[in-house]
Structures are given as structure tokens and as C-alpha cells.
Amino acid sequence: MSRYETLPSAPQAHAARADFEAAVRRGLTGRPRVIPPWFWYDAEGSRLFDAVCDTPEYYLTRVEAGILERSAPRLAATIGEGPIDVVDLGCGDGRKTAPVIAALRDGGAAVRYVPIDISGAAVDTAAAAMIARFPGLAIQGLIGEYFDGISWLSKNADRPRLVMFLGSNIGNFPMPEASAFATRLCKSLSPGDRVLIGFDLRKPGAPLIAAYNDSEGVGPRFSLNLLRRINRELGADFDLERFEARSTYDPVEGAIRMYLISLEEQSVYVRALDRRFDFEAFDPIQVGYSYKFRPREITQLAREARVDVEAMYFDDARWFCDAVWRIAPG
């Protein structure tokens, strides 16, 4: 059990368990079968995602880390000194946030680190890494859904905020939902607060496909872990050997799509739903998507959210962009 604040949407909470059951019921009954990506992250899912970030093919982490390392001093100079909450939304292991905290502290800011994640394991890992790097750093971990975390913060803290939403997590929403998410996020903050969002950009298909189908099979193991989670938490009998994880790239939509594909005709029982689900050979379950952006689409999101674009930081190859938006007064 984590020692950080557990919000109603945390996985151990009753409501979250009901959500998971409902999503699996809907996902396995519907055609096409789709289970949304935020159920990937139990403790093992978080560990496997960290391992994905370490594969040579998963350029996203490496490239974004480089952008943040390079731009952190400029960002810190813009923000200046004074108290600030650095909110790491969907923190994962938090490894890319450290240079920003270091630069803010070097500039004289009194930083509190606020990791928010649906996975308690992620909050624990990110918080432990920050304490190890910055002994004595103030930390407020929040375990739960993004907006549960933001609204807890609105009620319990009044410091200026830099909300970081890294790793192209925003790509987990199709474009209209990404816009709704960004707008809602910005609306829930105060004038003068900033958001820093990491966007993976459109690029040739080969590196994209390799990033999600790495040669060691870490990404596929990460996707298959969803079935293990359904087995454990909902008493299902998925045989992981009889499913294959594959990701494809759709250049029309600019989207990676992740599938678990039944390798044969089979029937799976889910005890919590008291239901059997039949699969024909090569039937897919879609378990995730990752939309890739054009720079003009990022500007468009900012326009729709009615925020000021303060900076757009790119790597040299323009494979990734970290955009900084400021919440305008009124």
C-alpha cells in the first residue's frame, strides 16, 4: 500500500473495480473489441512500461529526455523564483521530470513535486527517484485518475503550477478527445499556471512501427499483461500463449494501433462477469492507440483551449515536441 494520497478513482477503490469490469464486458462484447489503454497500468504494467522506455527502439523517451534536458534552463528562467507545484500527470517513473525540477531549484524556486498516476507503483517509483536525487524535496503523491488528482489539488493547494503531461500520453486520445482533454485540463487550472505537454510527431513509418514492436518483445509483453490483469482481477482464464501482441501504423489517421490477436479459435471465461467470450482464429482485441501529431495540430489544440503558447521545444530531427502553454487571465 502506498503512503501517498489514494483518491476514489485509484484501482483499489470499489468504483475503479466496477469501471474495469464494465470496460472488459463492453470491450469483449462489442465489435470491434476494444479495451481502453488506461487499464494497462497495474504494478507489473508500470514495470513493463519502464522497460519499454529502455528499449533501443522506443525513441520517445530518449528524444523527449533530450529536449527537456536542453530546454529546462530556459523554462526555469521564464518561470522564475517563488513557490511552485511541479505536477507530473501520469508520472510513470518520473525520469524525465528531474532536469526541470533541478533547473527550477537552481533558479531559486521552492519546488514541490506532485506525481499523479492511476498506478500506485508509478507514484511510489517516481517519488522515490526524486527523493534520491533531491533529498528533502517536498512531495505530494496522488494515486488516481488525472482529473481526480487535479481537483484534489485545487481544493488542497494554492501554489502556482507547472503541469507536465509527458511521454505523448495525450496521443492516447483521438484528436477530438485530445482537444477536449487539453481544454478541460487548462480550464481546471488558474491564470498564470503553465502546462507542458509532450507530443510525438508524425514521421516515417519504420521507426514508429519498430518503437511499438521492439526486437526483444518488451512492448508485446506489456500489451499482453492486460490479459494477465483480467485473469487476476476478474478471474478470467486467458491463455497468454494463445494470443499475439502486434502494433500497426495507420498513416491516414497518423495512429499506432495495438492489438492482441487470438491465434486460434478459443473460448475464454471471465468469472466476475459470469460470461464466456468466443474468439475465432485471428480475431483482434484493440488495446491501445497512439496518435501522432502535426505541429499545426498542436497550435490548434492550444487555440481551442484558449491558452497562450509560450514555447514549442523540438529535437533536431523534429520527431517530438514539448509545448509550453500559459493559462491566460480571465
Ligand X SMILES: C[S@@+](CC[C@H](N)C(=O)[O-])C[C@H]1O[C@@H](n2cnc3c(N)ncnc32)[C@H](O)[C@@H]1O
Q: Which residues bind ligand X (CB under 6 A)?
A: 38, 41, 46, 49, 53, 61, 90-92, 96, 117-119, 122, 145-146, 166-167, 169
CB 330 to ligand X: min, Å: 29
To 5 degrees, how large is the angle CA 140–CA 146–CA 256?
130
For ligand X, the closer of residues 173 and 277 by Cβ is 173
Helix-strand-coil split of the chain, %, nearest 5:
45, 25, 30
Closest to ligand X by CB, 8 vs 83, is 8
Residue 93: CB minimum distance to ligand X, A = 7
Residue 217, SS3 per DSSP: coil
Nearer to ligand X, 92 or 262 (CB): 92
Min separation Cβ 46 and ligand X, Å: 6
Residue 5: strand pairing partners: 142
We find the least distance from the C-beta atom of residue 98 to ligand X, in angstroms, to be 12
Half-sphere exposure of residue 46, counting CA atoms within 13 Å on the CB side?
17
State the Cα angle at 107 between 102 and 109, rounded to 5°.
80
- Please state whether beta strands 284-291 and 255-262 pair in parallel, antiparallel, or not at all (unpaired): antiparallel
What is the closest distance, in whole angstroms, from the C-beta atom of residue 70 to ligand X in the complex? 17
CB of 116 to ligand X, least distance (A): 6
Min. distance of Cβ 231 from ligand X in angstroms?
A: 19
Tell whether the torsion through CA atoms of 39, 142, 299 and 104 is positive or negative.
negative
| DSSP secondary structure string for all residues of 125-179 | HHHHHHHHHSTT-EE--EES-HHHHHHHHHHH--S-EEEEE-TTGGGGS-HHHHH
Nearer to ligand X, 39 or 249 (CB): 39
Beta carbon nearer to ligand X, 177 or 278: 177
Q: Is 172 in contact with 200 (CB distance < 8 Å)?
A: no
Toward ligand X, which CB reaches closer, 109 or 126? 126
Beta bridge partners of residue 198, listed in sequence order: 322
Nearer of residues 122 and 245 to ligand X, judged by Cβ: 122
Contact by Cβ (8 Å): 256, 290:
yes
